[in-house]
Structure 1
């Protein structure tokens, strides 16, 4: 039997490198779409009309209250059974995973954005309107940028969670890091070595994402308003 390092170099790393690219192609669009959904839904839940607020509250309740695994099963296995006329909605595994992750992440991120918006004093709204700004301009140009800065740490944590939760995509046949690792472990019967390296890959992804998110937070800081004054 090959040593751990020989097996990792010749079998594990080449297989996981292919899965890594699939994982990145899954995480990036799901994160961006989830953040867009979160900002839109969170803003609408604070400033939107009452019927829209109720619909979005139900959306958040459903996607925060049901397991992500169940949601993925729905998009990939159950949705094809829903027919619109003669058309059946069949999603490829990758798109089912992206949509599932984005909608779930967006529900959580909308809560962070909503909390950030509610933390902004109402006096700023009245002051902006006194200067002649429209309600839409006031929200998008004055309130939302401040709220986004305050919500960014929470939204960043949600992206970190998404990186780890992306391993669930393998249950709907996506050949990501976990899917490739599972296939290799079954064929080689060397589960410990394979999944130790899989864990290291995810740790590296989370470390890089944490560094990028901290850099973004630092870039968006306003001197004198962020952190404690010395």
Structure 2
């Protein structure tokens, strides 16, 4: 079978639209996941018995189930469960974003917990000695240091989330993989289109990795 480059050139505009949606889902989902992860991570690190165990159950539940099962549950099962109380319909894009938020939030929670607990206790004692409250010590002393240590794993989580969006093909989200599948259904050039899809994913992840490495060096990650 001869490789047809023209099939790729014709498909590039549509694939780039899918890539834009892939990035949008990953960015919005990761921002939401960061909020969830910070809350759950601090609950694990500094919360009481109840908040600690609630966060632990959430983290283990999400990390212990595949993301494709999670998105299917949110898209198909959750509206059926809520139907008894109120009619709810979740569109595919919303289900995809919420899934990335929840999934990345569980992993970011453990990243947060590990980062804040890795800061030497002397920094906390120094903040308290300067007259800062426990909350201000956490906010102005511990968190800036912890965020530097969180940056590499957060960047890795972003890359993972970008690739995870390909699984949302199961609910019809028009991200990069879905666009590639629809193009193939029309021109039957699977080798060319899947090669182009793979290269676009590779370009995105390599560019993101480069930017993150530069940012890490500038912040002098310790």
Q: Give the shorter-chain TM-score range.
A: over 0.9
* In the alignment, structure 1 residue 120 sits paired with structure 2 residue 119: yes
Contact 1:29 1:98 in 2 (8 A): yes
Paired residue for 2:215? Answer: 216
Find runs of 4+ consecutive structure 1 residues off by over 6 angstroms. Answer: none
Asked if 1:5 is matched to 2:17, the reply is no
Q: CA deviation at 1:142?
A: 0.7
Distance 1:31 1:44 in 2: 19
- Inter-CA distance 165–123: structure 2 relative to 1 (3 Å threshold): same
The alpha carbon displacement at 1:84 in A equals 6.1
Unaligned 5+ residue runs, structure 2? none
Q: For residues 89 and 2 of structure 2, what CA distance do their matches in structure 1 show?
A: 43
Q: Residues 75-122 of structure 1, C-alpha deviation per residue, up to 9 Å, x if partnerless?
A: 111111012654133211111001101111111111111111111122
Q: Distance in 2 between matches of 1:219 and 1:37?
A: 27
TM value normalised by structure 2: 0.93
Q: TM-score, normalised by structure 1?
A: 0.90
User: Which residue pairs with 2:202 in the alignment?
Assistant: 203
2:7 touches 2:189 (CA, 8 Å); kept in 1? no
Aligned residues: 222
**What displacement does 1:2 show?**
9.1
Higher relative CO (Cα under 8 Å, sequence separation at least 6) belongs to: 2
C-alpha contact (below 8 Å) 2:29/2:97 kept by paired residues: yes
Q: Which runs of 5+ in 1 are unaligned?
A: none
For residues 141-180 of structure 1, give each alpha carbon's deviation from its aligned partner in whole angstroms, at most 9, with x where no partner exists. 1111111211221121111111111111111110110001
Shift of 1:35: 2.0
Evaluate the alpha carbon distance shift between residue 131 and residue 99 of structure 1 in structure 2; reply closer, same or farther with a 3 A threshold.
same
Q: Which residue number corresponds to residue 136 of structure 2?
A: 137
After TM superposition, the structure 1 = structure 2 runs for residues 72-221 of structure 1, keeping only pairs within 5 Å, are 72-83=71-82, 86-221=85-220
Helix, strand or coil at the partner of 1:195? helix
User: Is the contact between residue 63 and residue 107 of structure 2 (CA under 8 Å) also seen in structure 1?
Assistant: yes
CA distance in 2, matches of 1:3, 1:123: 62
Tell me, what secondary structure is at the counterpart of 1:87? Answer: coil
